[in-house]
């Protein structure tokens, strides 16, 4: 799918590695200017190199999604520069270490809540006004670990994030934007390796392959 220089950009939160980086690259290959948000500067710079290599353009935003002021400023800057967004892809996530529920570390719980739930809620508030075109989309990615043993912090906060996205999806059926919740296959990422050490990674899907399939689903290809 080719887009003109007037195409509104795609915002990818959590873009420095894994599925987020693969989706950002895939969007650039489809002709979307990409706004890439992540805390990891090195990861963003590597992504920028790969996007340039395929002839795409990226605006790097090395920011923490839990920084409310920074997210407000980013979204206002997007409005002032482009007037809106074509798409928001949200992959920013805190994956707390596995732990029995009774031993969940307070800092891990607080960080999980801050990134996975609170930041998502605020971003919906700030990004929604930028998704005003008829085909504008917001996409979230489920990882259903809620109730699984040792996944208390991650599973509970990820489930809360997805419940929030599903509510937004139900509320915007008539008005837009189109809000989607997709479930990627098990991915060969560093996060999964930490959760499942010793797993046979040869049977896992590479993030680049998953991104291609998910983008086809997002755009109805």
SS3 of 125-170: the string is HHHHHHCCCCCCEEEEECCCCCCCCCEHHHHHHHHHHHHHHHHHHH
CATH 3.40.50.720 fits domain 10-214: yes
Per residue in 102-156, pLDDT (tens digit) is: 999 999 999 999 999 999 999 999 999 999 999 999 999 999 999 999 999 999 9
pLDDT, block means (10 residues), the chain with 221 residues: 68 97 98 97 97 98 98 98 98 97 98 98 98 97 95 97 98 97 95 93 96 96 56
What's the CA dihedral at 200, 205, 206, 210 to 10 degrees?
A: -160
Helices (H), the chain: 18-29, 41-53, 68-82, 106-112, 119-127, 152-171, 190-195, 207-219
- Per-residue pLDDT at 3: 47
pLDDT at 221: 56
Q: Which pTM value belongs to this model?
A: 0.95
Q: Is 192 left (phi over 0), alpha (psi -120 to 50) or beta?
A: alpha
Q: What is the C-alpha to C-alpha distance for residues 24 and 214, in angstroms, rounded to an integer?
A: 12
Q: Tokens at residue 161, please?
A: 């994030």
List, in sequence order, every residue forming a beta bridge with 43; answer none if it has no partner: none
User: How do residues 187-197 score in pLDDT, each as one tens digit?
Assistant: 999 999 999 99
Q: What is the pLDDT of residue 2?
A: 47
DSSP state of 102: G
Report which of 50, 39, 38 is spatially closest to residue 13, judged by C-alpha positions: 38
Q: Which residues contact 121 (CB under 8 A, 6 or more apart)?
A: 164
């Amino acid at each position: 799918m080719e887009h003109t220089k007037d195409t509104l950009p795609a915002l990818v939160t959590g873009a420095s590695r894994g599925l987020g980086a693969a989706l950002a690259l895939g969007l650039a290959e489809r002709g979307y200017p990409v706004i890439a948000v992540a805390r990891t500067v090195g990861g963003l710079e590597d992504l920028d190199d790969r996007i340039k290599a395929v002839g795409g353009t990226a605006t790097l935003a090395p920011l923490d999604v839990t920084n409310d002021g920074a997210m407000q400023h980013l979204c206002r800057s997007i409005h002032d520069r482009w007037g809106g967004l074509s798409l928001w892809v949200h992959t920013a996530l805190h994956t707390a270490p596995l732990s029995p529920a009774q031993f969940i570390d307070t800092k891990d719980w607080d960080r999980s809540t801050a990134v996975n739930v609170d930041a998502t809620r605020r971003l919906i508030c700030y990004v929604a006004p930028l998704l005003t075109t008829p085909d504008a989309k917001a996409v979230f990615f489920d990882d259903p670990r809620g109730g699984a043993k040792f996944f208390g912090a991650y599973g509970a906060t990820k489930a809360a994030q997805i419940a929030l996205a599903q509510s937004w999806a139900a509320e915007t059926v008539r008005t837009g934007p189109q809000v989607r919740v997709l479930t990627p296959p098990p991915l060969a990422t560093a996060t999964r390796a930490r959760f499942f050490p010793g797993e046979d990674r040869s049977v896992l899907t590479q993030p680049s392959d998953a991104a291609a399939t998910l983008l086809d689903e997002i755009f109805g290809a």
